[in-house]
Structure 1
Amino acid sequence: MTSELKKVSLVLVTGASGYVASHIVRLLLQKGYKVRGTVRSLTDEQKVKPLNDLYQNSRFPLQLVEVNLLNKDGWDDALKSCEFVIHVASPFPSKPPSQEEEVLKPAVDGTLLVLKACARAGSVRRVVLTSSVAAVHGETTVKEEQVYGPQNWTDEDSPFTDAYAKSKTLAEKTAWDFVRGLPEEQRFELVSINPGIVLGPMLTNVVGTSVFPIRKMMSMTMPLVPAVNFYLCDVRDVALAHWKAITVPEAAGKRFIIGSASIWFKEMSLILFEEFVKQGYWVFRRHCPYWLVWLTSFIDSSALLILPRIENVYKYDNSLMINLLKITPRNFKQTIIDTAYSLIERGLLPKRKWYTGPKERDSW
Structure 2
Amino acid sequence: MLRAGKATNLERLSFIEADLINDDGWTDAVKDCTYVLPVASPLPASAPKNENELIKPAREGTLRVLRAARDAKVKRVVVTSSSAAIEGHGRQDRNKVLTEEDWSDVNAPGLGAYAKSKTLAERAAWDFIKNEDGGLELSVINPGMIAGPVLALDTSSSIEANGERFLCLSQPQMSMKDISLALRERLGDKAKRCPTRSIPDFVVRIMGIFDSGIVLVVPMLGQTFVVSVDNVLGWTPRSSVDAVVAAGESLYKLGLVKK
Shared topology, TM-score over 0.5?
Answer: yes
Q: Distance in 1 between matches of 2:120 and 2:206?
A: 32
The 8 Å contact of residues 89 and 223 in structure 2, kept in 1 or not, is answered as no
Aligned pair partner of 1:168 in 118, 125, 128: 118
Question: Partner residue of 1:155?
Answer: 105
1:305 to 2:216 alignment: yes
Question: Partner residue of 2:79?
Answer: 129
1:326 to 2:234 alignment: yes
Percent of matched pairs sharing the same residue: 36
Q: CA deviation at 1:55?
A: 4.4
Give the 3 Å change call, closer, same or farther, for CA 284–54 of structure 1 in structure 2: closer
- Name the SS for the 1:64 alignment partner: coil
Give the 3 Å change call, closer, same or farther, for CA 104–119 of structure 1 in structure 2: same
Within 5 Å, give how 1:49-88 maps onto structure 2. Answer: 50-51=1-2, 54-58=5-9, 60-88=11-39
> Normalising to structure 1: TM-score of the pair?
0.67
Q: CA deviation at 1:293?
A: 1.2
Question: Partner residue of 1:103?
Answer: 54
1:197 to 2:145 alignment: yes
Question: Partner residue of 1:237?
Answer: none
1:302-327 Cα distance to aligned partner (Å, 9 max, x none): 1111123212112222232xxx2111
Q: CA deviation at 1:53?
A: 7.0
Q: Distance in 2 between matches of 1:308 and 1:176?
A: 26
Give the 3 Å change call, closer, same or farther, for CA 312–133 of structure 1 in structure 2: same
1:207 to 2:150 alignment: no
- Name the SS for the 1:191 alignment partner: strand
Q: Which runs of 5+ in 2 are unaligned?
A: none
Give the 3 Å change call, closer, same or farther, for CA 338–77 of structure 1 in structure 2: same
Q: Which one scores higher on RCO, CA 8 angstroms, separation ≥ 6?
A: 2
Give the 3 Å change call, closer, same or farther, for CA 117–287 of structure 1 in structure 2: same
Question: Partner residue of 1:349?
Answer: 257
Q: CA deviation at 1:147?
A: 1.6
Q: Distance in 2 between matches of 1:64 and 1:92?
A: 22
1:264 to 2:166 alignment: no
1:105-149 Cα distance to aligned partner (Å, 9 max, x none): 000011111111111112x00100000011112323452322211
Question: Partner residue of 2:162?
Answer: 252
Within 5 Å, give how 1:6-17 maps onto structure 2. Answer: none
> Normalising to structure 2: TM-score of the pair?
0.92
Aligned pair partner of 1:177 in 123, 127, 145: 127
Q: CA deviation at 1:168?
A: 0.5
Give the 3 Å change call, closer, same or farther, for CA 284–62 of structure 1 in structure 2: same
Q: Distance in 2 between matches of 1:345 and 1:264?
A: 24
Q: CA deviation at 1:279?
A: 4.4
The 8 Å contact of residues 141 and 160 in structure 1, kept in 2 or not, is answered as no
Give the 3 Å change call, closer, same or farther, for CA 279–286 of structure 1 in structure 2: same
Alignment root-mean-square deviation, CA: 1.9
Give the 3 Å change call, closer, same or farther, for CA 280–144 of structure 1 in structure 2: closer
Q: Distance in 2 between matches of 1:201 and 1:59?
A: 21
